[in-house]
Structure 1
């Protein structure tokens, strides 16, 4: 009789072992598919399968305890599995509630998106990122601050780059709205073409590429903080003076240019690098005349007819 009981116990242990291994495989499979598909339901089901695994382990432990003369292991196992089921239930309920409220649970992806978008040329800061799931697809909105003023065409180009960056980090992204707004310049560097090195009394040059010098003025609260007159290295070139001058000003971190006329090449080089181009007043004779009127100057939004 005792031998038959021990044989039944061994059969029970072997059956529980096989059942446990099958449940472990099933739970792992559900968890992997749920993770890569972003399905909260599958992940929750995987957690439920893991509770079945522990339930089977309790059976194994209880049977082994009975064979070893320790029947109290059964009670301890039941207590452990009860606490685990309670903990898993609380976690699943919390995550499900957040999903129902369109909350985004993957905080790591938000950090990666913010970094990727900030690395895009022209983006000064990412103010907010909002993502929500609807079934298997994701919808979102991102608010960014650009470096200075940008035209509609540049905003559209930035939006396309931002969308591509987000799609690399978020699977099943269906649609994202990009709201771009101009940011405030931390340091305003104004470049004005001049014909001589006479400081703020320097006479103005009407040309960009042919200007022998530029005075670069750092402004704060519409007032002059400091200034420096520099030689234009592109003035002696035979070709592409305007474009090379524009590239030179960009290398000096200029974000505002005051000019009378500007050609198509340098215009697009400057605008693509978020340099604001202001119209030089016809009545201005020297740099002081221009600086006094900076807040009133009109923005040049397209290349002028005269070539520089």
Structure 2
């Protein structure tokens, strides 16, 4: 009986899933998707999927992309009545992170740090594949050292920063470039270990002036 109904509708759950999968694969600015689910209720389909947006795409742009995907899916599969899209950042296999350091400890001041420890992690293997120290060329700069350091680290291609403090302007510059910023609560080795295990607290806002951090 169920097959007969699908035949009359010229529609099947398998067909719908294939069409939606093709649509998702064709969309730009997403690095992949997961957990595609469909549920039938009468003649209609309800669905949801998790998409991974690429680095450098801000929240408003990500929601715009999600809206276009939903619209396209409903065009391709007329039976879809409601479709929920969950947005998550796309994580490459390799991630490059930086930690401001002084005397082999996490620096108390991002822009005035003596050096930056830059390391590359293989997320699949859960290990460091590259590590080096870079002298901070802006340590002695009188004004906006943090901003200059942010630009410098962006040019180094970092994906994440682990720090004890950071000014508002530098924070937003890094964030606009898709750099994730995490709070350093322990020593260097502990920070690296927690970064690999994805257990660091990510900063969603930083107020250096008040000495207050807001974490997500």
TM-score, normalised to structure 2, is 0.61
Higher relative contact order (CA 8 A, sep 6+): 2
Map Cα deviations across residues 41-65 of structure 1 (whole Å, 9 max, x no partner). xxxxxxxxxxxxxxxxxxxxxxxxx
Structure index of larger Rg: 1
* Equivalent residue runs for 1:106-255 within 5 Å: 107=19, 110-116=21-27, 119-120=28-29, 123-127=30-34, 140-146=47-53, 154=59, 158-167=62-71, 171=75, 175-181=82-88, 185-195=92-102, 202-220=104-122, 223-232=127-136, 240-255=144-159
Question: Tell me, what secondary structure is at the counterpart of 1:141?
Answer: strand
Rate the CA distance shift 1:241–1:161 in 2: closer, same or farther, 3 A: farther
Matches within 5 A, 1:21-100: 96-99=8-11
Q: Which structure shows the higher strand fraction?
A: 2
Answer whether contact 2:106 2:184 (CA < 8 A) is retained. no
Give RMSD over aligned pairs: 4.6
1:163/1:176 contact within 8 Å kept: no
Find the aligned partners of 1:225 and 1:101 in 2 and give their Cα distance. Answer: 44
Kept after mapping to 2: 8 A contact 1:192/1:257: yes
- 1:242-265 CA-partner distances (Å, limit 9, x unpaired): 344334434433233211112223
**1:105 and 1:185 mapped to 2: Cα distance?**
26
Q: How many residues are treated as equivalent by the alignment?
A: 199
Q: Partners in 1 of 2:96 and 2:12 — Cα distance? A: 49
Tell me the TM-score normalized by structure 1. Answer: 0.47
Specify the SS of the correspondent of 2:206.
coil
| In structure 2, distance between residues paired with 1:100 and 1:169 | 15
Where in structure 1 are there 5+ consecutive unaligned residues?
Answer: 1-92, 196-200
